[in-house]
Amino acid sequence: HEIVDKILSDDPDFKDVDVVAIMPFLEDEDCDKIFIKKIQEDDEIALELVNFVSEECLSLLVDAYIEGKYPNLNVDKLYPFLDGDDVKKLFYFELRKAKK
């Protein structure tokens, strides 16, 4: 948990830590925090991290995308990792968006 706090606070000593290597040893909530930080920084989905992220985090990401928070996010990469309800939400959102 301490390492995650250092990574999230942009501690220069932890700048080059390979987060994928430590993800299997982290709690779900810490994995979620790292994943969200990467999305906020890059506006891109780090697929190598998705396997470690909770379904709740992915669901919150889908909701944020639908609300317009990440307009450039390529959510197509997320489909294999989403539960059925989130896939349905995205489908309906994209369908409404295409009609406009």
Over the stretch 72-99, which tens digit does the pLDDT of each residue have?
888 888 899 999 999 999 999 989 988 8
Tell me, rounded to whole angstroms, the distance of Cα 45 from its chain centroid: 6
Over the stretch 27-44, which tens digit does the pLDDT of each residue have?
999 999 999 888 888 767
Instruction: Report in angstroms the alpha-carbon separations of 100 from 33, 90, 97.
Output: 34, 16, 5
Return d(Cα 44, Cα 42) in angstroms, integer.
Answer: 5
Question: Among candidates 38, 31, 39, 24, which has minimal Cα distance to 4?
Answer: 31
Return d(Cα 82, Cα 20) in angstroms, integer.
Answer: 20
